[in-house]
Amino acid sequence: MTLLISLSLLICLFMAGWIIAGKIRNVSIVDAMWALSLSIPVVLYLRVFEGDAMRDFILLVMALTWSLRLGLHLLRRIKREHPTEDSRYAKLREGWGEKAHNRFFFIFMVNALLVYLLSLPFYYSAQSTQPIQSLEWIGLAIFIIGLMGETIADGQLKRYRENSTQANHYKICCVGLWNYSRHPNYFFEAVIWLGIYLFCAASPGGIYTIHAPLLIIFLLIKVTGIPPLERKLLESRGDAYVKYQQSTSAFIPWFKK
């Protein structure tokens, strides 16, 4: 019943988001909703089940930290660029024409399902009443490493952009972690979810939620992460980015070729 309520809440939330997106003609808000809404099912699980207090606190902190950090970042970007829509959705809108709004409903529902699937590790962990296990401390440590790595990568890219002059505006950021990976922020995003999974895998049933980190990695590498961003960078940076691709790992930080 708890899982059904969780899914129903997410469906209602994203349905409302779809209606709002239609009124403002900007489907980009689904990205921010996707991140911010994870806290909703997690808080529900923590309210329904009476688990270990320390574990519940850690679960809440992990969910809120990931959700608010990414969600608010996306929300600020969407607000700054509005009414311009993300290029992914703009192309779909152009291709779908008058049917675009109705077809975007499917995208909002898919995102609701994705959030539901990502919440399942928290569902199993929230039910555990046993003391914190060693695997959970390891998972928490990996989560913190991922969070720190992503924060550092984002900070390095932000400082590079702020210090860019007109002369090097179209050059490639190769400072710090970006010298070893073309997308270190995406890599550490995957590390964050590996940490969440390991933390939750210590609880009964949690080990079967390996789909959560695998889903994140798949989305980052194959769908909404690297592919559309690299196409955009190739268009704007040209040969400079081709050379960067040839010499630098796409995902896992590694030495230059």
HEC profile for 184-214? HHHHHHHHHHHHHHHHHHCCCCHHHHCHHHH
- Which phi and psi angles does 27 have, rounded to 5°? -75, -10
Please list the helix, strand and coil fractions of the chain in percent, rounded to the nearest 5, in that order: 80, 0, 20
Residue 166 has pLDDT above 70, yes or no: no
In percent, how much of the chain has pLDDT > 70? Answer: 98
What is the amino acid identity at position 212? Answer: A
In percent, how much of the chain has pLDDT > 90? Answer: 84
Which 3 state secondary structure label does DSSP give 9? Answer: helix
Q: Look at 16-30, 74-88, 159-173 and tell me which has the smallest mean pLDDT.
A: 159-173
Q: Tell me the per-residue pLDDT of 13-33, one tens digit each, with 9 for 90 and over.
A: 999 999 999 999 999 999 999
Q: What is the pLDDT of residue 170?
A: 59
Which 3 state secondary structure label does DSSP give 173? Answer: coil
Q: What is the pLDDT of residue 227?
A: 93
Dihedral sign computed on CA atoms, order 117, 123, 124, 126: positive
Domain ranges of the chain: 1-129, 133-257
Question: Structure pTM?
Answer: 0.93
**pLDDT band at residue 209, thresholds of 50, 70 and 90?**
very high
**pLDDT band at residue 57, thresholds of 50, 70 and 90?**
very high
Q: Tell me the per-residue pLDDT of 139-148, one tens digit each, with 9 for 90 and over.
A: 999 999 999 9
> What is the rounded average pLDDT for all residues in the chain?
93
Query: How far apart, in whole angstroms, are the C-alpha atoms of residue 129 and residue 147?
Result: 27
Residue 164 has pLDDT above 80, yes or no: no
* Residue 191 CB burial class (10 angstroms; 0-12, 13-18, ≥19): buried
Nearest Cα to Cα of residue 190 among 155, 225, 228, 160? 225
Q: What is the pLDDT of residue 163?
A: 81
Sorted by sequence, the CB contacts under 8 Å of residue 186 that are 6+ apart come out as: 220, 221, 225, 226, 251
User: In Å, what is the CA distance from 64 to each residue of 8, 37, 44, 215?
Assistant: 21, 10, 13, 20
**pLDDT band at residue 130, thresholds of 50, 70 and 90?**
very high
The Cβ of residue 228 has, within 10 Å, a number of other Cβ atoms equal to 14
The Cβ of residue 121 has, within 10 Å, a number of other Cβ atoms equal to 30
